[in-house]
Structure 1
Amino acid sequence: MKSIKKILYTVVVVIAYISCSNDSLSKEDFSTNLKASLEIENDITLAKEVMEVLNNHRASIGLNPIAWYSECEELAVEHSSYMVKNNKASHDNFYERSQILKRKGASFVSENVAYGYQDALSVLQAWLDSPSHKITIEGDYTHSGIGIVYTDNGIPYYTQLFIR
């Protein structure tokens, strides 16, 4: 019985804390990235299509394919959600994302972001038309994950994290 009371007390304290918290935090809350990622719906079908056309491009120029990595996907979904919330494409808080991935064994981390493109070929072409994004796509990376989150108006925001 005491265990149940302790659990209920903890739940009440957490709810009270959350309800009194500051909603205008400027940084993403990386301590709950997994929970937040699970609550946000990623367009996994489109994400896999982006990865497929990206790997087709890499193969066409003699590069190895990049493998899907769920840790990158989780952080990418979280960041795409952040961009939707802030109504802008950005690399805000990239350092934090890169440090999380480096603690999991990555040597190098890079990121591409975009918004508004309705299909995989369009977003890939936009990235290839940008020299800095193209360098990342054609870089010496082994794993990646993509997060695509939509605004209420159906505009997709993309984040793709690359690691080696």
Structure 2
Amino acid sequence: MKKFLLPIAIVLTVLMNTSCSKETVINFEDDSAYELGSIEAEAGADNQVDIEKAILALTNEHRLAMNSNELDFSPAAYEEANNHTDYMISKGKLSHDKFQERAYKISTKVKVKQVAENVARHYDTAQEAFEHWLGSPDHRRSIEGNYTHTAISVKVDKNGKFYYTQLFYR
């Protein structure tokens, strides 16, 4: 029995260290919010802007394959995504801390009805991060949701690990 406890403890430790906090979606139409579970990601690519562009392309390719609309890039969401990615790096962990504040800041710049957010870290490629998001029902819901705009921020911490924030709104 003890032979099985160590591998189980290792798996549980890995899972707990690769899970992020809850993701909140803000619905500005009826002022309600609901909690979505979220999954941490892993990172490691060369050019952050190329990764951001690749995730936008992957997002839109996926949406088009579903006969859904492409998402437009949003400078307002990009600013907030960048700020949050910097925040996560400063804390050394994934979070959705102050999500409502980010959603509100976006709403002061553009008209929005709903805002959602995906976060990840430590993925080696855009494809890998995107596939892990698609593997999570809650992240997939954001990617496939009724949104019109998105922005992705990808940044590297001092250890060369990538952090990702993708914001969506309509």
* TM-score, normalization by structure 1: 0.73
Q: Between the two proteins, what is the percent identity of the paired residues?
A: 38
Residue of 137, 150, 153 corresponding to 2:156? 150
Q: CA RMSD in A?
A: 1.1
1:59 aligns with 2:64: yes
1:70 aligns with 2:75: yes
Aligned partners of 1:79, 1:123: CA distance in 2, in Å?
17
Who wins on radius of gyration, i.e. which is larger? 1
Residue of 45, 54, 62 corresponding to 2:50? 45
1:110 aligns with 2:154: no
Aligned partners of 1:103, 1:83: CA distance in 2, in Å?
23
Higher-helix-fraction structure:
1
Query: What is the DSSP-based 3-state SS (H/G/I as helix, E as strand, rest coil) of the residue aligned with 2:106?
Result: helix
- Structure 1 unmatched ranges of 5 or more: 1-41
4+ residue stretches of structure 1 with deviation over 4 A?
none
- Structure 2 unmatched ranges of 5 or more: 1-46
Letter in 1 for 2:98: N
Match runs of 1:25-44 below 5 Å: 43-44=48-49
Could you give the per-residue CA deviations for residues 57-107 of structure 1, whole angstroms, max 9, x where no partner exists?
111111111010111111101100100110101100000000111222111
Aligned partners of 1:107, 1:118: CA distance in 2, in Å?
33
* TM-score, normalization by structure 2: 0.70
Higher-strand-fraction structure:
2
